[in-house]
Amino acid sequence: MTDPGILLHHLIIVVCILAKILLDFGPPTFFNAMRMVQEASNPFLHLRWLLAAAGVSRNSRLYVTNGLVFAASFLLSRILPIPYYWTQSLQLITSPQTYVRFGAVGLGFWFIADLLFDGINCFWAVKICRGTYKFMKTRKLE
């Protein structure tokens, strides 16, 4: 939990979300809401940390089940929606009305923030999938 990567991840997320809210993106509230839905995997991540802190064995059914639910919810809420999100986002970003309303700087920020969000999510998805695969290959349930 003291990993600098996690701190950087949350710092980027907070800055990007606050900036999007402060820039008053009006109609794109849908896009901000979609980003909030991505947090659906967090309760399982936090439970994983709590189980580890409580000394629950990594091979216990509870720990393994929670880990699998976390991995599935991460992929379903953060990775699966990426194509739909970008299809809708690019339609809005490239419209002349949106350019007039937000200008190049606002749209540039929107685009870069979304690239950062999805880049970070893809980075973590690869780590989660590798870790899950490695664990499931060598696991011994208690």
Give pLDDT tens digits for 87-121.
988 888 888 888 888 788 888 888 888 898 899 99
| pTM more than 0.85 | no
Q: What pLDDT shows up at residue 26? A: 60
Answer with the residue of higher pLDDT: 131 or 39: 131
Residue with tokens 């870069």: 112
Q: What pLDDT shows up at residue 110? A: 81
CA distance to 48, 109, 126, per residue, from 97 (Å) = 45, 17, 37
Three-point CA angle 51, 57, 59, nearest 5°: 115
Distance CA 45, CA 113 (A): 23
Distance CA 142, CA 137 (A): 15
All residues at 6 or more sequence positions from 60 whose CB lies less than 8 Å from its CB, including other chains:
51, 141, 142
pLDDT, tens digit (0-9, with 9 covering 90-100), for 14-48: 777 776 666 655 656 777 778 888 888 989 999 99
